[in-house]
Amino acid sequence: MAARETIVILGSGALAHDVVRTLVAEAADRRIVVVEIKKGTGTDFFPVKNQGLPAAVPCLDPSSPACARELCDLLLELRPAVLALTCLSESPVTPAEPWVSDIAITTSVTSALTRLVELGGQPPHVLLLSSTAVYGVAPASPLVFDEQSALPRETVFASACARWAQELRNCERRIVAWAVGAEAGVGVLRTASVFGGAQRAGASARAPLAGAMDSPLAAMLRARLPIRVLGYDPPCQVVHYEDLVRAVALAIDQRCGEVLNIVGRSVIPLSRLFAMAGIVAPAVPGPIADRIAPSATDGAHLRWRTLADGRRATALLGFQPQKTLEECFGG
């Protein structure tokens, strides 16, 4: 009897567990292990019933000096065919100082994988969940970023949002560089801002559009002083949480070895985004917006667009977003 294929998903919230449910529903003959990335180690208990999931979920703390060793030991034991990383930060404010957690996670993962290969283990196919924020903004051309678009190389962090995007770019480069050096497969999914899904544990019921995970636009809507820039109304992209879950499951199933953009069905102007969320955001002059913009965004993103072309994900994965804009916003 052939050994069951093993898939390991490193996650920091509900997304990893929802991806497992989708994978189990499609093929129950695989072993899928979720490893939570969070403060504090040991075991966490996730309330799942009749989904083929273990009740006890191992946890790793990326700030611990032993994290890389513990992850390597786990990978040596499980010998996964696929390692999916869904644990990088979700927005410029989630978690707090997300660039710190991202670099810690990336360092631990690459160190563990390097050690795995040194000890004779087979390198797994790696899948990384990132964000379309890595493209920066486009004041002029291109109108839409595709996967071949050159990423900016910023050296000065003008805002928390810019620093977050820069660290995501660095994480992508480090994971891809490791995979190329180890001759392992690697895929990167860059997702638009996520809305929808069951409300996050601990989220305030009064928080606008508090879905299953955070995103740059969702964080901006939660800002204490949401604003727009006078004379600008940039188009924005969103994707429903359930569509994202399906895209990640498809990428795992098909061993995605490409950089792919995961975006929703439509584009929405920033002014309509605020209107659909029921939020009043005054338009202020640009110099003022640059000074008072919330941490979740900055003046550049309030002026210009970050639109990503999602056609390659449709062609290679067969991914087609099903949810409408209204469903993304709870309609």
Q: What is the pLDDT along the chain (331 residues), one digit of tens a residue?
A: 346 789 999 998 899 999 999 998 887 778 999 999 987 544 443 333 334 444 567 899 999 999 999 999 999 999 999 999 999 999 999 999 999 999 999 999 999 999 999 999 999 999 999 999 999 999 988 889 999 999 987 666 789 999 999 999 999 999 999 999 999 999 999 999 999 987 765 555 445 566 789 999 999 999 999 999 999 999 999 999 999 999 999 999 999 999 999 999 989 999 999 999 899 999 999 999 999 999 999 999 999 999 999 999 999 999 999 999 889 887 6
State residue 261 phi and psi, 5-degree precision.
-90, 130
**Of residues 69, 61, 66, the one with CA closest to residue 112:** 69
Sequence spans of domains, the chain: 6-199+239-264+307-322
Predicted pLDDT of residue 99: 93
Predicted pLDDT of residue 202: 57
Q: Measured between alpha carbons, how far is 48 from 249 in angstroms, rounded to an integer?
A: 18
In contact, 14 and 198? CB cutoff 8 Å: yes
**Of residues 93, 327, 85, the one with CA closest to residue 195:** 327
CA-CA distances (angstroms) from residue 127 to 68, 83, 194, 302, 326?
A: 18, 6, 19, 31, 30
Q: Which residues contact 135 (CB under 8 A, 6 or more apart)?
A: 145, 149, 151, 152, 190, 306, 308
Q: Measured between alpha carbons, how far is 171 from 173 in angstroms, rounded to an integer?
A: 5
CA-CA distances (angstroms) from residue 150 to 135, 142, 192?
A: 8, 11, 18
Q: Measured between alpha carbons, how far is 217 from 297 in angstroms, rounded to an integer?
A: 8
Q: Measured between alpha carbons, how far is 258 from 146 in angstroms, rounded to an integer?
A: 12
What is the topology classification, in CATH, of domain 6-199+239-264+307-322?
Rossmann fold (3.40.50)
Q: Which residue has the tokens 């631990």?
A: 108
What torsion do the CA atoms of 154, 157, 158, 164 make, to the nearest 10 degrees?
Answer: 100
Predicted pLDDT of residue 87: 95
Q: Report helix, strand or coil for 34.
A: strand
Q: Measured between alpha carbons, how far is 273 from 225 in angstroms, rounded to an integer?
A: 15
Instruction: Kindly report the pTM of this predicted structure.
Output: 0.92
Q: Measured between alpha carbons, how far is 70 from 331 in angstroms, rounded to an integer?
A: 44
